[in-house]
A and B are shown apart, each in its own frame.
Chain A
């Protein structure tokens, strides 16, 4: 599903050059649940951003769903992200000025859909994460775990093949973290969604199919 070949990422600022990723090659199969671990600053987020086409690698090649992605323009990239990828972030990234339902509908706004269709799909996604009774709330009126569930609903509303989650349980206590993990595992099991998850938690990582460890931008396992 995702194929990375010799990915290298160098961040250049005026004074320093950081090698964030050093020759990473990775093959992720369709329907796989992969976790990435490693100390802070080792390049996990960078790797996920590159997989999510949010950032371009300095060197190397990415293929997603058998499609080479290097020659896509801004519009094609946006479309690709919209259709194929779903994102979950540690800090949720909900829009606080929009109600839960509107937040979940967001990815559908960048597609050809009717308002009715959007509402139906968003409600459905919220039911899947057990938040059907919170549609009219604003994000600030929800707990951290609930917010992350809204973010998951937003990630799955467009039925993407791949979900990229950057420390989805990082801000949550272990009970809430387990709830979120449960949702992701079910998603992977029942819908066959390919999931790549960055985590700091060994227990969470143990529940996935495969674990990749990074250290200083290099793959160590």
Chain B
């Protein structure tokens, strides 16, 4: 029977071409949507890497101009004391501008043991960063005072970078650096990757350097951990205190909770738009499919009647029609999968292969279900036609 259906489909390739194209297009659109969804979900599942609740970001533009490093340090250490003395401040840390959920980036690359790592984030942070952020240290430790007098240049890496460089092995104590650099950095700790691009978008690997004397020249932000009850009144007080000290400087206070919301929003919007567009498309395809199958059945009433007359049951007629659609779907899906598989093979968007594969499987299942649903009813309808009536109508 299979061979028979193949012949029938093959001999009607012209009519079936349109139907197959429709199925192919819906597969490709679904593939895009599902891959994006799986990608988002994959990132969503991962831990945030720190506690963003009750962390505020203060943007300071460095109004204090001096060539003298000592007086620069003194100026900012005084600022630190002033802020820390406020009752609701638990901890604070001066950091480079690329804080979580901001669109500032500072990226570079690294070629380590022949492997090139792109989009590598470089962060500069202080010893107090760990407490302020409540970091999750996976291996080794975060920086402390003793690191000021180290022989090596030290580095803390995040889990993503560790995975890319050392794989499953221990990283602490190992040297890290570009293959052609003589002076390597020594890894002292591995922290959980911070989802700096929000819940849904991959953050990329990160390197954390310790802020040393003179870093204040370009540490343009302060992260402040406040106690849970800190409110707008306190925020005003914080602002006033700082403004009093930093004359004619722009100070801006933001909450990480809000910044996360905004960041997520920008990730979710394209997702929603894409979903709506694809929903319409799928509805269109479904109606088209349904219409074509319905039309087919009416056009093929003579054939249906004949098959009934020579020994087909109603059920076998209806399953034949459903099977024909499923074969068409299978052919389209084979072609579609061939295109889809190029994405992980050519590594088009730098996503890991399993995301594409799951996206592909989901779209295959969806297309099969769609075709099944769209052909079941016309198929059932065909089975219900009286053979005498069907034969009569040609």
A interface residue numbers (CB < 8 A to B): 45, 49, 52, 54-55, 74-75, 78-79, 81-83, 87, 89, 91, 93, 95, 97-99, 102, 106-107, 109-111, 115, 138, 154, 158
Contact = CB atoms under 8 A, between A and B. Distances in A.
B8 A93 contact: no
B266 interface: no
Contacts of A87: 306, 309-310
B388 A49 contact: yes
B379 interface: no
Contact of B7 (A78, A98, A158): A98
Contact of B313 (A52, A78, A115): A78
Given A78-B311, A89-B391, A95-B306, A109 B1 contact: yes
Contacts, number: 75
Contact of A102 (B7, B309, B387, B391): B7
A87 B311 CA distance: 11
A99 B7 CA distance: 9
B4 A102 contact: yes
Contact of A95 (B1, B303, B388): B303
Given A93-B302, A93-B305, A79 B311 contact: yes
A121 to B, nearest CB: 14
B314 interface: yes
B75 interface: no
Nearest to B1: A109
Nearest to A118: B4
B308 interface: yes
| Most chain A C-beta atoms within 10 Å of own C-beta, residue among B11, B12, B303, B309 | B309
A78 B11 contact: no
Interface residues of B, number: 27
B3 interface: yes
B4 A82 contact: no
Given A54-B388, A98-B8, A111 B310 contact: no
Contacts of B70: none
Nearest to A79: B311
Contact of B394 (A83, A91, A98, A107): A91
The main secondary structure of chain B at its interface with chain A is helix
Contacts of A95: 8, 303, 306
B319 to A, nearest CB: 13
Contacts of B315: 74-75
Given A97-B12, A102-B7, A111 B311 contact: yes
Contacts of A93: 302-303, 305-306, 391, 394
B39 to A, nearest CB: 44
Given A49-B388, A110-B316, A78 B308 contact: yes
Nearest to A46: B388
B386 interface: yes
B394 A97 contact: no
Nearest to A81: B311
A107 B391 contact: no
29 contacts: A52-B309, A54-B308, A54-B386, A54-B391, A55-B386, A55-B387, A55-B388, A74-B315, A78-B308, A78-B311, A81-B309, A82-B311, A83-B311, A87-B309, A89-B391, A93-B302, A93-B394, A95-B303, A97-B8, A97-B12, A98-B11, A102-B7, A106-B306, A106-B307, A107-B310, A110-B307, A110-B316, A138-B11, A154-B310
B312 interface: yes
Contact of A75 (B11, B302, B309, B313): B313
**Most central of A78, A102, A107 by chain B CB within 10 Å:** A78
A109 B4 CA distance: 9
A54 B312 contact: no
Contact of A115 (B3, B311, B386, B387): B3
A111 B71 CA distance: 99
Instruction: List the 9 closest pairs (A to B, CB-CB), nearest first.
Output: A82-B311, A110-B311, A55-B388, A107-B310, A54-B388, A78-B313, A97-B11, A49-B388, A54-B387
A89 B315 CA distance: 24
Interface in B262-319: 302-303, 305-316
Nearest to A103: B306
A54 B303 contact: no
Contacts of A98: 7-8, 11
Interface string B359-394: 000000000000000000000000000111001101
A217 to B, nearest CB: 16
B314 A74 contact: yes
